[in-house]
């Protein structure tokens, strides 16, 4: 999966660089809906490599690795990698039925 994003003022930190949080948010937008609906993010490793500024275009590419993780690579207009993220997902914990929770002896 691939998506394009142009850095906006909402993406910037107080130094007018794209914030660390924004890189993560952009990367998560590339996750397939079926993964988000059935799995929970269990770990995220992020490597920030270059700064990005207002109005700069970013391309985020996501691919699944052999071990079931997802690699997210963000590149700038020149093709230089600005950030790499590795996300690991696991099955969502089972949510108890509300009646089970309400009827528990405390």
DSSP per residue, 33-58: HHHHHHEEEEEEEEEE-S--BTT-EE
The tokens 């690991």 sit on which residue?
Answer: 88
18 phi and psi, to 5 degrees? -60, 130
- For residues 76 and 72, give the distance between their C-alpha atoms in angstroms, rounded to a whole number: 14
pLDDT category, 101, cuts 50, 70, 90?
Answer: low
Whether 100 shows a pLDDT value over 70: the answer reads no
pLDDT of residue 92: 82
pLDDT of residue 53: 96
In Å, how far are 10, 88, 90, 96 from 60, measured between CA atoms?
18, 17, 22, 37
List phi, psi (to 5°) of 17: -105, 155
What confidence tens digit (pLDDT) does each residue in 36-77 have?
999 999 999 999 999 999 999 999 999 999 998 999 999 999
Q: Average pLDDT of 77-84?
A: 97
Q: Are 83 and 46 in contact (CB under 8 A)?
A: yes
* Tokens 């990005």 belong to residue: 52
- What does the pLDDT read at residue 28? 95
């Amino acid at each position: 999966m691939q998506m394009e994003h142009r850095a906006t003022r909402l993406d910037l930190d107080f130094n007018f660089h794209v914030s660390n949080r924004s890189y993560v948010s952009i990367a998560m937008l590339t996750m397939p809906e079926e993964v988000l609906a059935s799995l929970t993010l269990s770990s995220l490793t992020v490597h920030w490599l270059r700064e990005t500024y207002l109005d700069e275009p970013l391309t985020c590419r996501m691919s699944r690795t052999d071990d079931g993780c997802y690699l997210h690579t963000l590149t700038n207009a020149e093709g230089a990698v600005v950030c790499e993220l590795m996300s690991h997902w696991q099955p969502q914990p089972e949510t108890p039925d509300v009646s089970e929770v309400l009827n528990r002896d405390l």
